Every structure is written in C-alpha cells, then in structure tokens.
A and B are shown apart, each in its own frame.
Chain A
Amino acid sequence: MELFQVRYFLSLAKTLNFRRAAEACNVSQPALTRAIQRLEEEVGGPLLYRERNLTQLTQLGQALLPHLEAAYAAAEAAAQQAAAFKRSERAPLRLGLGSTLSAGLLVPTLRELRERLTGFELDLSEGGADELFARLLDGTLDAAVLVEPKRIPERLNHWPLFKERYVVICPPDHPLAALDEIPVAVLGKSSLLARSRPGCDIEEAGRRLTAGVVRIDPSHRGRSEDHIHQMVAAGLGIALAADRQLMPAGVVARPLAGAERRIIVSAAAGRPHGPGVAAFLKLMRARDWSVPPPAPVPRPDYARVWKS
C-alpha cells in the first residue's frame, strides 16, 4: 500500500467522483482508477461501487476510511514532526486529565517531552469526562487522559491505555485491611465517604457496584480525591478509590472484587497535531502500562541539608 494510493482513495471518498478526485490529486483519471484498483487488491475487496451515475463507498470502504485517514495523516505528519523537534519552535500541549486520575501517570511521558522537545509548553488542567470532551471538541484542549465513560462523542478519537482496579481505602488497623481482596458483600456493614463533585466516575461506580449493599455516608463529604484520601487517613471513614491513585501515609488500599475501569487517551479527529501533541499521543499509546512507574525519590533529610 502506497501513500499516493491512499491519498487518491481519500480524495475519492470525499468527492465520490473519479474525474473530480483525479483533478484534485492532479493525475489522469486512468492513473487514479489504476491506483484504486491496486489498493482494492491489497485490502482484499472493492472500496467503491462504480455505477453509471453514482459512485459510493462499499461497506469495506466505509469501514476502512477512518483508519486510512488516520494512517495517512500520521504518515504525512511524521517526517514534518521529526523535523519540528529539532527546531526550537513552540510546541504547546493543552492537556486535560480526568479528575480521579493522578498526574503521576503522566510523569515519564512529560519528562521525555521536556528533554526532547525544545519548545515544549504544557498547560495541564483537570475535569470530568463531559467537560473534557466539550473542550476537546471546541479546540481548547489538544488531548485528554480520562476514565472511559459510557459514551464518547463520534468526532473524538480515543485509544485504550490500561485497566485498573477499584480499591477500598481504609486505615491500616481497619478489619478490611486484613483482606487481600474485598467482596462487595463484606462491605455491607460499612458506609463509604461521599464525593460531592458531580459526575465523578468513582462515585458513580461506587453506587453501581455496591447498590443495595453499602450506604453512602452523608455525614462526611469531600470534593477532591485528595480530600477523600486525607479524610480516610483521619479516620472519618472508608472510601472507594482507584488502584493507581497516589495514597497518603496512613491509608491502605485493597482491591474490590470484580471492579475495574479503563483509562483512555482522547483527541479530536481530523485535526492536525503539532509535534508536542503528536509525540504525547505516540508515547502514551506505546507505553508499557503493565510496568509500574519508578517509585518516587525518597524525601531528603532536610535537617541535614539545612545544616550543611
């Protein structure tokens, strides 16, 4: 499969007219027809219905269109992006992060971008899925890393990164801390701390997974993930959380049986990516998420640092 064949096909998919597509690609109509035939040989079936007055994509053509678009855009941009890295032009990345995800997930990728991309500029913000999607669509975000929701707008590309388990967090001396894994039924006697942030995926998962078994405690409420984690550390109760969130001291996490969520990275479809965005997406998708990131550097001994 060659780049020009794909370009001809994409033009044909847009115009649905062999003559106009040939004009747009600046080639003769027979040359375009031959290239499409060869592409059809390669993908193993016809991409277009050719009727006298009507050219239409076949089912195969329709199915392949988004992938050929993506691969073509990636190929076109690849050389350009490699060159852009060497110039010190601005390479902004406006990145959204789901509210229940730790920015620690991004550290190796951000470090690599900072080291390799001279003009790298990061604008990191957080939000719920609806807000992040709206901002990807209106172009105020380039990419977002978030928990996969039930519905994703069609005009957004999205790629799975990894799955992680939901966990129950409690103080180390809590009876639940003695279990390796917590069946929902065992939670029956407890109540969970409530998150007051609307649309929180952990809160929704908590209600869904523990419906009819577990009470959500209305007496203590926290808005952010840090609030909830610290409230558990303070002994105000136990809470649902996610495996890769960074927990404060005085909190242990035990997986909740049969409960997990999927983390995705998303970006608007059909929009050209600058070098910062393209490299970010590639690095995140290529990363081996089964390997835990390196442990944080231990806190220095400040008393000694100050003395010296």
Chain B
Amino acid sequence: MSLKDELDRIRAEASANAKTMAAYEALVAQLGRAQTASSALKVGDAMPGFMLPNAEGRLVFSDELLAKGPVVVNFFRGDWCPYCTRTLMALEAALPRIAAAGGQLVALTPDTGRHFAATRRAHRLSYEILSDVDGAVGMQFGVLFRVPELTREMLAGFGTDLAERHGNDGWFIPVPASYVVDRGGIIRYAFVDVDFTRRAEPDDIVAVLESLKG
C-alpha cells in the first residue's frame, strides 16, 4: 500500500467529523490563496545551511550531513498530526533503501523539549529528528505559515497546545514539505503541498536519490 493510500484512509476516517473537515478545508483554502506553496524553495535553489539540536541534545550541522552524501529534509508539523506520524513511519520503513541510495534523512519540526524527543521514541524512528526552534529554518525554506483561528480551536479541542510545544506563542508551523538536496547543497527534488493530507511518496524520494548516484 502506498503512503497516499494510507493517508487517504486517515482522511476518510477524519471526514466523519464535520468540524474537523471544515477546519481542514478552510486551512487549505487560506494557504492556497496565500500561494504558500509557491513561496517555498524549489528545485535548483540552494539549501540554507542550518545547525539544529537533535533529540539527544546534540547539534546537527547541514554541511556535515552534505559531506557524507545527499540529504532528505522532511518538514513535519508535530506528532499531534496523524498524517505527519504516518509519514514519519513510512520514511522509517523506507530508511534502508534511502541509506542504500547514499541518502541521509532528517525530519524538522517546530516542536521543542520533550515533545520532539518523544516523537522519536514513540514511533521508534532511527533517523534524526531536529527541533527547528522558532522556525528559523522553516522560514528560510519559505514553508512556514501561521495557524488560523479555526484550526487553533480544533487543536485546543484535542488538547494540543502549540505554544507550549514550540516554547513560543507565535503559532507558526510548516506546510508539510520534503526535499532532496544533492552533495553540492542544491535542491534536486521538492514536494510542497498546502494540503497537509498529501505527502511525498518515499518511493519517489528513493528514486531521486538513486538518480543522483548515477
């Protein structure tokens, strides 16, 4: 089953809740109007360098990753989002193939503290989860947006407090995005969709990495 099929199943279940669906549709429409996806970095752009903490309290540098090979950068919103966790797990399943193709995988979230470390533990992820504190890297990639009121209300209903998770009350999160960056730091594949139920297929990521090996 492809990741898309699994995400479609989650969406079908979620569509039973009218309020959730209304918040979903309003969010996607707002981001579409704002052309959020078109403002994000694209194929051919250079990846901005970064230095971010991982779940063990160590610093991870983008240039050290690139020195070892191409890098897959995956932006996710947090493990409060079922589409994100499903995607993180699909990427874990694809990790042997990503590694075999010479790629390294990192996933960035605006979550801080115990939240992002817990994501890694809870879903037994063996790749790096990095805390993009204050969305500094997300903003450079152009994938950050502000959570609209309707979505906030819905999240509050689920007991999800992004201010507490982020350690700031700006309520900025990324649109889900996946990038493959070659060793020269140039973006060779970009998947950005304002519809957060749509994600890059791990198979596509692996195929891009394979083509870079050539």
Contacts and interface: CB of A to CB of B under 8 A. Distances in A.
- Mutual binders A and B: yes
Interface of A: 1-3, 5-6, 38, 41-44, 64, 67-68, 70-72, 74-75, 77-79, 81-83, 85-86, 108-109, 112, 116, 159-162, 279, 281-283, 285-291
Contacts of B169: 67
A85 B148 CA distance: 37
Contacts of A108: 57
A82 B139 contact: no
Contacts of A290: 113-114
Interface residues of B, number: 45
What 9 pairs across the A-B complex have the smallest Cβ distances? A67-B170, A74-B136, A41-B34, A288-B117, A286-B131, A286-B53, A42-B34, A82-B51, A75-B139
Interface in B133-179: 133-137, 139-140, 142, 144-146, 148-149, 167-170, 172
Nearest to B174: A1
Nearest to A81: B51
Given A44-B146, A74-B135, A283-B57, A79 B114 contact: no
Among A1, A2, A159, A287, max chain B CB count under 10 A is at A1
Contacts of A287: 53, 57, 113
Contact of A79 (B33, B34, B50): B50
Contacts of B139: 1, 3, 6, 71-72, 74-75
B134 A71 contact: yes
B140 A44 contact: no
14 contacts: A1-B139, A1-B172, A3-B139, A3-B142, A44-B146, A44-B149, A71-B136, A77-B136, A82-B49, A109-B57, A116-B59, A161-B113, A286-B57, A290-B113
Interface in B54-68: 55, 57-59, 61-63
A6 to B, nearest CB: 7
Contact of A38 (B34, B50, B57, B149): B34
A97 B134 CA distance: 23
B140 A75 contact: yes
Contacts of B28: none
Given A82-B50, A290-B114, 11 more contacts: A1-B142, A5-B39, A68-B170, A71-B136, A74-B133, A74-B134, A78-B48, A79-B50, A81-B51, A82-B51, A159-B167
B35 interface: yes
Contact of A42 (B61, B116, B136, B146): B146
Given A71-B136, A71-B139, A112-B57, A38 B35 contact: yes
Contacts of A286: 52-53, 57, 112-113, 116, 131, 133
B167 A160 contact: yes
B87 interface: no
B212 interface: no
B104 interface: no
A1 B140 contact: no
A86 B63 contact: yes
B33 A41 contact: yes
Contacts of A78: 48-51, 136-137, 140
Among A72, A282, A283, max chain B CB count under 10 A is at A282
